[in-house]
Chain A
Amino acid sequence: MTALAAAAAWLQPVLLTVLTLRVAGGHAEAPWLVLGALVAPLVALLAPARRPAGPNPVATAAAATTVTLVLAADLVVAGDAAALLGVAPWHGVALAAALVLLVPLLPAARRITAPALVLAAVALLLPLGAVALRTGVAPWTAWSHGGLRPALTFPEASGWVRDGERFARDMRLTFTEGQRVTALTEGLYRVVERDAAPPTVREWRLAAGDALTLRPGDELTVEAGARMRFDPGRRMPGMPVTGMAWADAPARGPAMLPGALGALITLVGGALALVPATRRGGLAAAAGPLALMTAVSAAVGWGVYAAAAAPDLALGGSPLAPLVRLPPRALGPAPGGVLATLVVAAFVVLLLAAAVALRGRLAAIGGGRPALWPAAVVLAAALTVWSPDPWRLLLLALGLAAAVWTPALLASGRSAAITGSGVGAVVFVALAGLPLVAPGAAAGLDTLVRYPALVAMPLAWAVVRALGEGVGTPGRPARPAAR
């Protein structure tokens, strides 16, 4: 396997689209997530190459779960894509699941992964270049424009104003000014009024076309799938108040450092499991890092241009919305529609390339059991029924891989690998499952609950090293080299 084919396992549609959404929405964690998304697979490409240290049922179970969760996150994005195109989300999930199930089984699938990845990266950059040329604005100028907005308000051209848009996830929207919103789907809408202590909670069952008046400070809870329409010229709820707040998130401060380290350890640890090391030298080896940089930079670029030209695209929580809706907004319906189709095609190719790579990783650790792949795809499709947050799924997958799979790959003896994986698994499951068994304790350990790998991975590694079979010691190598 070349560095380029190894990179395919990392360039998941969910990773790139959520990065775009995070940048467009001015998320406080966006800067280090962007850098982590690029550097983590580069670290994995350079890490010592090793071979499996014998069967490890704990690591195999973690690998199968990781692959299932990553696929589920990708399929949720496919469902969002279908909703953006005007069809039911399950159509997108079913189509993507069928492709993911069957395409990796084709004899030529592994051979075309690398060129397909290059094509997809170029296809992501082309529409972005067209938007940049059409608007005549360089990326850094777009960032500067986005950061200078006096207020983030709904423009007349916004889909939220004209026909209303759909919320892809459950959302809590805080209103900074009074405004009237119109529900376009029947459902339960909960409003927390914070103008008096204690806050008042009101629940409204609205029919399609009913309006709701909200005051400054009110918090509206919207269920996934609900459609709403807003008035033009009003501030966007749940988004940064100004361009300055988008550029320098007010929540960003020293208290976020443990969370930032948790995110980076999760990304790097997950990449060490998903992205095989490469030992091949020569100029061809440059293609992998260059493809990673191109794809991640494209994701950031889309986020920056969306924030500058149409920040409302980040409101509904659909990771694909900024990428699919920006070209028609910036270039007009006809050329924009063609470019949006190109973007969707690029993500389909990325999904298939990632599926081929993931199947290879699963086969490497699962001993080539043919039932593992179809089981993972079917389970992943089933998980999308609950419309989970795709980013949460991806973080869980990468965290589990970091805590259980990676220590097993970096140990050189079987007993150390199994013990390390076991310790990582116990700590990871205990922390990730804490909100279910002890919600009060989970609130106090928020960072560890969000990033269990922050503790689980170092502990698992410490166990591996304590058993005297850790990284760099002589013995049978464990992390498989890319072939």
Chain B
Amino acid sequence: MSVPRRRRAALAALLVLLVGAPLLALAPAAPGAIRVAGVSLLWWYVGIVAPLLATAITVTALVRGDG
């Protein structure tokens, strides 16, 4: 995959991750309020899962970047 294409794919993935937070928080029936191991699904997502994924995606795209 070329560098620009890899970056575009990474950008798209980041934006999908970002939009996931309000969707999970504001969807009808509040799926984000479901507790998993004492913590709401929403906070697992915004506090752990999405940050780790977003950082991993960015690091991968940057490390294998132009330089």
| B66 CB contacts on chain A under 8 angstroms | 279-281
Contact A286 B51 (CB under 8 A): no
User: A32 contacts B14, CB within 8 Å?
Assistant: no
Q: A31-B42, A42-B14, A140-B38 are in contact. Are A283 and B21 (CB under 8 A)?
A: no
Does B62 contact A281, Cβ atoms closer than 8 Å? yes
Does residue A144 face the partner (Cβ distance < 8 Å to B)?
Answer: yes
Contact of A39 among B26, B47, B54 (CB under 8 A): B54
A143 touching B39, Cβ below 8 Å: yes
- Cα distance A38–B56 when bound, in Å? 12
Give the secondary structure class of B's interface: helix
Residues of A within 8 Å of B15, CB to CB, are 39, 43
Q: A264 to B39, alpha carbons, bound, how many Å? A: 24
A143 to B42, CA, bound (A): 12
- Assess the B50–A35 pair: CB atoms within 8 A: yes
How far, in whole Å, are A268 and B21 apart by their CA atoms in the complex? 14
- Chain A residues near B63 (CB-CB < 8 A): 281-283, 285-286
Q: How far is the CA of A282 from the CA of B59 in the complex (A)?
A: 10
CA distance A425 to B63 in the complex (A): 36
Q: Decide: A289 and B55 in contact? CB cutoff 8 A.
A: yes
- Encode B4-28 as 1/0 by CB contact (under 8 A) with A: 1001001100110111011001111
* Interface positions of A from 6 to 42, Cβ below 8 Å from B: 31-32, 34-36, 38-40, 42
Pick the contact of A285: B43, B47, B65 (CB < 8 A). B65
A46 touches B38 (CB 8 A): no
Known A-B contacts A43-B11, A252-B25, A286-B59; the reply to A34 vs B46 at CB < 8 A is yes
Name the residue of chain B whose CB is nearest to the CB of A264.
Answer: B18
- Residues from chain B with Cβ under 8 Å of A248 in the complex: 30, 32-33, 40
> Would B55 and A264 count as touching, CB distance under 8 A?
no
Q: Is the CB of A293 within 8 A of B38?
A: no
Q: Is the CB of B62 within 8 A of A256?
A: no
For B58, give its contact among A31, A46, A257, A264 (CB under 8 Å): A46
* B38/A144 in contact, CB under 8 A: yes
In the complex, A358 has a CB within 8 A of chain B: no
| B19 closest partner in A (C-beta) | A264
Q: What are the residues of chain B within 8 A of A297 when measuring CB–CB?
A: 47, 51
**By the criterion CB–CB under 8 Å, are A46 and B59 in contact?**
no
**What is the CB-to-nearest-CB distance from B60 to chain A, in angstroms, rounded to a whole number?**
9
Q: Is the CB of B18 within 8 A of A46?
A: no
Given the interface contacts A31-B25, A34-B46, A293-B51, does A278 sit within 8 Å of B62 by beta carbon? yes
Q: Determine how close the nearest CB of chain A comes to the CB of B56; give it in whole angstroms.
A: 9
Are A42 and B33 interface neighbours, CB within 8 A?
no
- Contact call A288/B62, Cβ cutoff below 8 A: yes
Tell me, in angstroms, the Cα distance from A109 to B18 when the chains sit together. 33
Q: Find the B residue at minimum CB distance from A290.
A: B55
Task: Tell me if A147 is interfacial: C-beta within 8 Å of chain B.
Answer: yes
Q: Are B7 and A46 in contact (CB under 8 A)?
A: yes
Given A35-B46, A46-B7, A46-B58, decide whether A280 and B25 contact each other with a Cβ distance below 8 A.
Answer: no
Cα of A252 to Cα of B27 in the assembled complex, Å: 10
Cβ–Cβ contact A42 & B58, under 8 A: yes
Decide: A35 near B39, CB < 8 A? Known: A282-B63, A289-B62, A296-B51. Answer: no
Q: A254-B28, A260-B25 are in contact. Are A38 and B62 (CB under 8 A)?
A: no
Measured CB to CB, the nearest residue on chain B to A257 is B26
**A144-B39, A248-B30, A280-B66 known; A46-B11 Cβ under 8 A:** yes
A265, chain B: closest CB distance, angstroms:
10
Q: How far is the CA of A256 from the CA of B7 in the complex (A)?
A: 31
* B63 to A: closest C-beta gap in Å: 5
Which residue on B lies nearest to A255, using beta carbons?
Answer: B26
In the assembly, what is the distance between CA of A46 and CA of B21, in Å? Answer: 21
Q: In the complex, A268 Cα to B32 Cα: how many Å?
A: 23
Taking the closest CB of chain A, its distance from the CB of B58, in whole angstroms, is 4
User: Min CB distance, B50 to chain A, in Å?
Assistant: 5
Residues from chain B with a CB closer than 8 A to the CB of A285 are 59, 62-63, 65, 67
Q: Distance in Å from the Cβ of A127 to the closest Cβ of chain B?
A: 19
Q: B7's closest neighbor in chain A, by CB?
A: A46
Task: List 12 additional contacts besides A48-B4, A297-B47; criterion CB under 8 Å.
Answer: A31-B46, A32-B46, A34-B46, A36-B18, A36-B21, A39-B15, A42-B55, A45-B58, A144-B39, A264-B22, A278-B65, A281-B66
Binding site for A on B (CB under 8 A): 4, 7, 10-11, 14-15, 17-19, 21-22, 25-28, 30, 32-33, 37-40, 42-43, 45-47, 50-52, 54-55, 57-59, 61-67
A-B contact pairs, 5 of them (CB 8 A): A32-B46, A35-B50, A43-B18, A144-B38, A247-B43
Residues of A with Cβ closer than 8 Å to B?
3, 31-32, 34-36, 38-40, 42-43, 45-48, 139-141, 143-144, 147, 247-248, 252-254, 256-257, 260-261, 264, 268, 278-283, 285-286, 288-290, 292-293, 296-297, 300
What 5 pairs across the A-B complex have the smallest Cβ distances?
A281-B67, A144-B38, A281-B65, A260-B22, A285-B62
